[in-house]
Structure 1
Amino acid sequence: MNYLITGGAGFIGSSLATYLAHEGHSVTVVDDLSMGKKENIESKNIQFIKADVRDSSKLKSILKNQQFDYIFLFAAIASVADSIERPIETHNINFESILQILELVRQTQDKLKRVLFASSAAVYGNEPTLPKKEESVIRPLTPYAVDKFAAEKYTLLYANLYNVPTSAVRFFNVYGLRQNPASVYSGVLSIISKQFIKILNNEKAGFNIYGDGEQTRDFVFINDVINALLLVAESNESKGEVYNVGAGKYTPLNEIVKAFEEVAGVKLPINYMQARDGDIKDSYADITKLSRLGYVPKYTIYEGIKEYFAGLLSHY
């Protein structure tokens, strides 16, 4: 099969690209390396093209010259803070580039099996009902979340209106190797892991928890995410549909720290700070809809952290 992955040098995109290449598929990655890293592209079966997804002439050339079986749209500025500070620029990347690619796909890709767009659980906002279901109330609170929801709706519209085979997924808290702990955009697990690496290197370390540490999130390991992405992309039932991608469980932050301590064999100094206004206390996904496609998360939080941290240690 022939795959195109935009944003394929980033965390999730490069993890999927590496898996597909190891399975013997042909993979083309498009990334401008503003957030992704070239070293994430490891396999000779991956063709890397450095390009900005806003470059319509470049994207048109790629899509006119190749017929793809599957296209994954991961390119984005994955920062809520950036979207607040630079709403126009992030809108151009997180929304307008998606619409542009969808239209190019409609014009050029006659044999395409699926376009899959990566949305976010951020679209749910602060609406308190749990667990989050695909039909839950949508209350996006930031330009990032608004753009993700709008791009998601356009993606599904192309299935219903233009018969382009599309699907979308809403990621919850994905973690795993290639998630850069030095990045300001990193998830909390990669930030915590960086502190444990410091301790093992005899450096000063510590971690601030805002509140009592009992706030919960739905943490899902990257290997389970790859499985979910392929299930959605390859299912006939999923055309024109959106799916939550999570573990379907809620894990307190204190439990995350404890799991890391057990895996690393050291204690992490914790500073409990006053809770921040606006922080969401609890969030987790209802994955019933995804489960109907055959999705079963294989990694507990401890198993995922153990594999993740072992990979980090071998890297460092």
Structure 2
Amino acid sequence: MQNFKNTLENKNILVTGGAGFIGSNLSEELLKLGAKVTCLDNFSTGRRENLVAIINHPNYTLIEGDIRDIETCHRACESKDFVLHEAALGSVPRSINDPITSNDVNVGGFLNMLVSSRDAGVKRFVYAASSSTYGDSETLPKVEDKIGRPLSPYAITKFVNELYADVFKKTYDFDTIGLRYFNVFGRKQNPGGAYAAVIPKFVMQFMNYESPVINGGGEYSRDFTYIDNVILMNILAITTENTEALNQVYNTAFGERTTLNDLVQYLKEYLSEYDPKIADVEVIYGDYRKGDVPHSLASIDKAKSLLSYNPEFSMKNGLKEAVKWYWENLK
């Protein structure tokens, strides 16, 4: 990670969803860089165990609250220099099963945070956007200004976030940056629950000698993105002095795609170094899943050009780190 200590020392930063996978990793790095970090989380998907390393840090404050409550949002934004908005209800299947709650959190909660940040005089609002915004666009690689029609309620909510951010600049001169995350994975990502992401879920199944189920034929591909690349993008977004970089959305990825079939082979290979029996676990193929985009690959040229983004971890190097973490912490 580049050295941002001089830039972030003693800055007051709010991380919403700060007990989640991305938010907690982000908070840890910001504290290392000397920032004062406040976490806002309602623990609907965030986990207290993610905060063990930082909960007693002198520069860390936890606010247990919901972004759907405007007063809580106002309180959390007071005296903050920057807001990193990670709070959301993720998962395409979750949004298909319950579109109302996904909309309430991802759209209503987002608007609450925008208004509260604006009213508090926050310098910059950086938010988690999503690669799902590309929808049915078949163009590869995905370029920020070419999107298709959304394929799920979740995708709609994340696109609406971008529209609101754009309007807040035009209407209130309020600066934002959106980061379209591409299949983020890494340490502390929850392997349990009905909506677990594919990598931690498969890792745990392999470690338990259970056959993972691939939706479809396994040739769908994703631009799997290691958590440290995402942390770097967030920090670049709040520290950039390039005014041209503001009020934009950026792909946040490595820029390389991997099929699900290749993914399970890598997982088998890396996990077998810890337990050779994992190499013999078979994979099962199921039905295609509604709302899934067949292929995802990001162009990261815009982020390189305007934010000087240079991702440090390839998918395979990140996967080795993630497997090591899961083996040491969850086996």
TM-score after normalising by structure 1? 0.92
Q: 2:133 touches 2:147 (CA, 8 Å); kept in 1?
A: no
Q: 2:93 touches 2:195 (CA, 8 Å); kept in 1?
A: no
Deviations 1:69-88 (A, max 9, x none): 21011111113233233322
Alignment pair present for 1:269 and 2:290: no
Q: 2:83 touches 2:117 (CA, 8 Å); kept in 1?
A: no
How far the C-alpha of 1:136 sits from its partner, in A, is 1.0
Secondary structure class of the residue paired with 2:96: helix
How far the C-alpha of 1:115 sits from its partner, in A, is 0.4
- Of 112, 123, 140, the residue aligned with 1:113 is 123
Aligned counterpart, 1:79:
91
Q: 1:117 touches 1:152 (CA, 8 Å); kept in 2?
A: no
Secondary structure class of the residue paired with 1:101: helix
- Of 221, 224, 230, the residue aligned with 1:225 is 230
Equivalent AA in structure 2 for residue 302 of structure 1: K
Q: 2:128 touches 2:179 (CA, 8 Å); kept in 1?
A: yes
For residues 21 and 235 of structure 2, the distance between their equivalents in structure 1, rounded to whole angstroms, comes to 16
Q: 1:121 touches 1:171 (CA, 8 Å); kept in 2?
A: yes
How far the C-alpha of 1:269 sits from its partner, in A, is 1.3
Alignment pair present for 1:50 and 2:57: no
Q: 2:136 touches 2:148 (CA, 8 Å); kept in 1?
A: no
How far the C-alpha of 1:279 sits from its partner, in A, is 4.0
Deviations 1:28-68 (A, max 9, x none): 000000000012112113211110111112222233xx311
Q: Percent of aligned positions with the same letter in both sequences?
A: 36
Equivalent AA in structure 2 for residue 299 of structure 1: F
Aligned counterpart, 1:129:
139
For residues 172 and 148 of structure 2, the distance between their equivalents in structure 1, rounded to whole angstroms, comes to 25
Equivalent AA in structure 2 for residue 75 of structure 1: A
Aligned counterpart, 2:167:
157
Alignment pair present for 1:301 and 2:320: no
How is 1:106-255 mapped onto 2 (pairs within 5 angstroms)? 106-109=118-121, 112-199=122-209, 205-235=210-240, 236=242, 237-255=244-262
For residues 313 and 189 of structure 1, the distance between their equivalents in structure 2, rounded to whole angstroms, comes to 13
How far the C-alpha of 1:276 sits from its partner, in A, is 5.2
Secondary structure class of the residue paired with 2:79: coil
How far the C-alpha of 1:211 sits from its partner, in A, is 3.2
Measured at CA, do residues 218 and 278 of structure 1 come closer, stay the same or move farther in structure 2, by a change above 3 Å? same
- What are structure 2's unaligned runs of at least 5 residues? 1-10, 273-277
For residues 111 and 82 of structure 2, the distance between their equivalents in structure 1, rounded to whole angstroms, comes to 17
Measured at CA, do residues 162 and 218 of structure 1 come closer, stay the same or move farther in structure 2, by a change above 3 Å? same
Aligned counterpart, 1:202:
none
Measured at CA, do residues 100 and 275 of structure 1 come closer, stay the same or move farther in structure 2, by a change above 3 Å? closer
For residues 104 and 224 of structure 1, the distance between their equivalents in structure 2, rounded to whole angstroms, comes to 28
Q: 2:82 touches 2:238 (CA, 8 Å); kept in 1?
A: yes
Aligned residues: 307
Deviations 1:265-313 (A, max 9, x none): 1313112345557643221111110111211222122211111111112
- What are structure 1's unaligned runs of at least 5 residues? 200-204
Equivalent AA in structure 1 for residue 261 of structure 2: N
Alignment pair present for 1:280 and 2:290: no
Equivalent AA in structure 2 for residue 210 of structure 1: N
Equivalent AA in structure 2 for residue 50 of structure 1: E
For residues 50 and 288 of structure 2, the distance between their equivalents in structure 1, rounded to whole angstroms, comes to 36
Equivalent AA in structure 2 for residue 296 of structure 1: N
Q: 1:51 touches 1:58 (CA, 8 Å); kept in 2?
A: yes
For residues 277 and 82 of structure 1, the distance between their equivalents in structure 2, rounded to whole angstroms, comes to 11
How far the C-alpha of 1:100 sits from its partner, in A, is 1.8
Secondary structure class of the residue paired with 1:30: strand
How far the C-alpha of 1:185 sits from its partner, in A, is 2.1
Equivalent AA in structure 1 for residue 130 of structure 2: S
Secondary structure class of the residue paired with 2:236: helix
Q: 1:114 touches 1:234 (CA, 8 Å); kept in 2?
A: no
For residues 201 and 321 of structure 2, the distance between their equivalents in structure 1, rounded to whole angstroms, comes to 16
How far the C-alpha of 1:13 sits from its partner, in A, is 0.8
Equivalent AA in structure 2 for residue 261 of structure 1: K
Alignment pair present for 1:27 and 2:37: yes
How far the C-alpha of 1:214 sits from its partner, in A, is 2.3
Equivalent AA in structure 1 for residue 193 of structure 2: S
